[in-house]
Amino acid sequence: MFVLYNTPEGRGIMETIILHADLNSFYASVECLYNPAIRNLPVAVCGSVENRHGIVLAKNQQAKAVGIRTGEAVWQAKLKAANLVVVPPHYDRYLRFGNLAREIYCSYSEKVQPFGMDEAWIDISFPGRTMDQGYEIAEKIRRRIKFELGITVSIGVSFNKVFSKLGSDMKKPDAVTVIDRDNYKDKVWPLDVGELLYVGYATKRKLNSWNINTIGELADIDAVFIREKLGKCGTILKDYAMGNDYSPVENTQHETIIKSIGNSTTPPKDLCSTEDIKITSFVLAESVARRLREHGLKGKTVQIYIRDCDLESFERQGQLSDYTNISSEIADRAMKLVKANWYFNKPVRSFGIRVTDLASSKGPIQISIFKEENKRFKTMDLEYSIDSIRKRYGPYAVQRAVLIHGRDCGDLSDSTEALMRKVSFNTGEKR
């Protein structure tokens, strides 16, 4: 986008220049900094190392090279590399390095929009500044991250957010890629359509079924056809493919100081069945989701906490396919974690749910509903409506059907938050 400017220094045309910076193999790189001896070995950061059910949360280049993937079980990963170094995650360290990187970005712009812990958009548009100068700034940032932090970053430089994000993926680690108006057709259009931001698995499958396999083919598709098929989302996707993304870089970094939002409860009666836990998880998920919405946040990782009647406890976590503040998505993910990790051999005394990996619910993340299109939109609208009904008529005005049978688990309701301990387990949240 070009903006006309008229300042005391002069007048002219300002071109939008946006960087997308993506710290490479972020968790694993930070772990290697703290333990340089493992730097040249395949390293996987895994949840619950002691347990067979632990999964790979992140890996370094060496682990990637032998085919280890994020999300696979630790034992599977070890089959691929006998010398695999498995380390537990240290989120405090990642947060620290994420913030240090952000400080560097902020020295080049006031408009820095974090996207998860390891990515950020930086708007460096300035009257008279050219794309070539944008490239020079990206190079400076790349060198500073390496020299000052000891980790590497790949940066995409482009005239919009969607293309700059594609750019940061093109060359890595430790590289800068420019996608400008002269080269985007050559660089972007041959890419698989699934690479485009907001094209999730379901959307990709649909597009493929209509013979749209590359971003170029999406850009070229008949506007009426795509609108008929995918609605407004389809039109926006086509625009993105054509390079017509005008979404601003929002300075949301100060809103994400809250690290996590969670609730836990110790109900009057131990929870003994899947049904008991399911009901409880809906209650907890509803209050967690509501508080996420209040803070204008969404999260991508769900953690559960279980303490049994012998007071032994454990935590597990799993990723969502998308950032969310929808209670049913949080509850469903929590239940999957319960089913995968809890054998109901002992009654549950306390149960908690927490959502981490937070990002602002404003800005472009909202459009990630492309994955399941308008259905998620509707659920989101519904939950916002329920929030306002409860605000006006009290917490019992609307109840989830699953809770009607839940009375014998103790009077669990979103309203009985006095019983629930916010901040509950582990490090807790800053409020």
**Around Cβ 235, how many Cβ atoms within 10 Å?**
14
To Mg ion, the closest distance from the beta carbon of 25 in angstroms equals 7
Which residue among 17, 18, 19, 22 contacts Mg ion (CB under 5 A)? 22
By beta-carbon proximity to Mg ion, the closer residue of 151 and 221 is: 151
119, 255, 286, 329: the catalytic one is 119
- Span 112-141, contacts to Mg ion by CB under 5 A: 118
Nearer to Mg ion, 25 or 287 (CB): 25
Please check whether residue 382 is in contact with residue 388, taking contact to mean a CB–CB distance below 8 angstroms: no
Q: How far is residue 325's CA from residue 19's CA, in Å, rounded to a whole number?
A: 27
Which one, 46 or 226, has the nearer CB to Mg ion? 46
Q: What gap in Å lies between CA 170 and CA 190, rounded to an integer?
A: 12
Tokens matching residue 215: 């971003």
The distance of closest approach from Cβ of residue 59 to Mg ion in the complex, given in angstroms and rounded to an integer, is 12
CB of 23 to Mg ion, least distance (A): 5
Sheet order of strands, 43-46 included: 56-59, 43-46, 85-87
Check: CB of residue 77 under 8 Å from CB of residue 53.
Answer: no
Beta-strand pair 85-87/43-46: parallel
Closer CB to Mg ion, residue 22 or residue 276? 22
With CB under 5 A as the rule, give the number of residues binding Mg ion.
Answer: 3
Q: In the complex, what is the shortest distance from the CB of residue 120 to Mg ion, in angstroms, rounded to a whole number?
A: 10
Indicate if 119 belongs to the active site.
yes
Give the C-alpha separation, 12 to 113, whole Å: 27
Of the listed pieces 25-33, 93-101, 183-191, 249-257, which binds Mg ion according to CB under 5 A?
25-33
Nearest residue (CB) to Mg ion, 33 versus 402: 33
Q: Would you tell me the crossing angle of helices 374-393 and 274-294 to the nearest 10 degrees? A: 80
Question: C-beta of 206: minimal distance to Mg ion in Å?
Answer: 28
**31 lies in the site for Mg ion, by CB under 5 A:** no
The interface region with Mg ion, picked from 43-51, 110-118, 222-230, 334-342 by CB under 5 A, is 110-118
Residue nearest to Mg ion (CB): 118
Find the angle CA(91)-CA(95)-CA(97) to the nearest 5 degrees. 115
The answer to whether residues 116 and 252 touch, using CB atoms and an 8 Å cutoff, is: no
Q: Which residues are catalytic?
A: 119
The footprint of Mg ion (CB under 5 A) covers 22, 26, 118
